[in-house]
Chains A and B, each alone.
Chain A
């Protein structure tokens, strides 16, 4: 069994959150009435959910935007940011720096029966995932591709190329050669592990603890290995 020596830890974590995007339309009064009707039908829908207000559809000359956002907050809607806001609107800066308009508009959700848990980013490559919490990728992960699966494990049947990355909420299993990056325990799961049949990885990370290729002991390179966390330390051992 081989392990690396202790080093000061710098933890880096990626986190993505699901925010609802509300896109008001003019006339604002009419839109607010419709919103009230909606909230009456499903009173707890906005409870504790972060909301981004997309103001892209509001014409630049529309007055009273700051007041309108206050009205939303009074209805218990937690606004974490705005996008598409025009800087000339009075009082808009109080709502924080507007987010850039995102390239992807997001998925329409049905308001009364929303399942916000289904917010897994779609991997670039075609993937098949069953009901179990494993994402199976039955082709190589190519350079430049990024596969993210926050709900569970990722199993790659081919290799992970140099310049590719695989990020899982649970463990990462690579049956080919791991040449790129593997990140397990994405959202704080210290029990996650990384397995591969040949280790040539650029980077391994579990729950924010990472090692680059330079840190990895020479004994484990090119071997079938597993990596896990022992406290705050990453251990890599050869599987035989």
Chain B
């Protein structure tokens, strides 16, 4: 039951509402006019189907305005707006119908003009349904918002794809209808909603273009060209979207600044990624890939991709370079190229340090690294291109310097430098290569070995070659220091002394022997041989030695008969053969002057002791020359008269090039034998010892430089050979 108070309240409300609608008109005429105005207005606002020509109505704007005026005065405008917006939602199926139809067509034809028509159609809808401006911006805004919200909620994913294609289609070439299109986007609110998609269109275009134009083109920097391409192609495209409403270029530039730098960044990043993926080949092509490196340097300053560059290069190196299939020389030259390239990209050397580390580690494990480097240092004839740039000034090897903080040009270490990064003073390539190893002694040793080989290979007093070696050594002295190469100096001096001594000996008593007299202590250990030259050779040697000892009474000549060459003239019954052969061959053929048929064993006995393989090789030389013939297995006959060359029964065994000079590696094995003597000595006298004790005791052995791990390996090897037994960490001799 309504109380009196409630009743009076309702009455008051009703009265107030009536008064508002009736606007103090007489009777209910005000009410009637309002309802007329309401009808006109709502009908005007009602969203109609624009494809239905019947509905296209003639509008009497004046009466509509008047109607709105009345509604407004009755303060019913918000209610009307609400009704209007509800109507829009209800009528939206009309638009959905259009969208579905257009998209279906687009899906079929993939023609972006369909999309364009769809967009224009949507604008048409929008315009048709829009309320008149006189209603004020509030209503207009509310309408736009509702329209767009509805639109976005009904747009299917297919629309987004089509939209993207549409944007992309306008990019190249910039299409004529573009301004209208952008305007339409703007009206529909698509620009804001799909900004990401529009930008991605730009990004993708940039990526495609960069890949198209720059991939594999390393000779000239691309960045400049790309920038101007951006200005010519991308910026005009961006203008309507990002610089809408710009009145002049100044204005536009300001508006584009932000988005432009984003695009520029993306271009840099794309180029950087591209170059990063190509970096290994770029380094191979160096110095023809200078341009690419310049680009990379510039990109890296803008884009933080240093870590990925390092990673990518390390990965490529591991896959393509640091494996057993690669030649050491190749690895070295790639390493040198890497040094040069990364210096361009990153002068402080942090990248290089990170990339170089695995290469250096790998090279250190290769047995022939030192040899390759040294061979390159002395400019071995067969090494085509030198690692060392000829223009690089020859300078002493550089030592690691402690940082000088008083240096006014001192810079702190780069931010991404690792903890073990060492400040990289740009040093020359040779210093860097030599620094792969902790000590340059190894190089000096290998250098001696190499020099010995080359000097001994010189025949016929070819003094020019000796002079060439001398020049080499002089150059290397600058690098390694005078003291380190003293031994080499002595070796060279031996060469010239040999010539002098030989001259003197020859003047006393002419001989056809021209020995190279070397000082045993200064030459690398030469492979010894037990060959005794038979017959006339021995006589020649003895004669010469006698003459030598009269000239140098305090010196004794010890022959290394297996080194050298012998020029022979063989006089056989029907022919004369002249040839240069190694001494062993000469020794064998000398034996044949005693009798015509020899067995292998007799021959070997005839020249002292010689390896069977070497002997066979020497004999095959003669068989090939048609001087000897192997009648039966291991029996050789001298062919005084040429026989029809029977096809060679035996082919030469894979030629074993016997290194005449013990390589550094072999010397190391000798060293280990020395250490073994010491270990044996201490274990004999001190009983069983733990490993670390052995390690410290080995300091008595001169030049001992093995780590305790190496020693452990060595002891383990000795155990396998049954020389020692190890129990509870104690080692003792096995006896």
Q: Do A and B bind each other?
A: no
Q: B-contacting residues of A (Cβ < 8 Å)? A: none
Q: A-contacting residues of B (Cβ < 8 Å)?
A: none
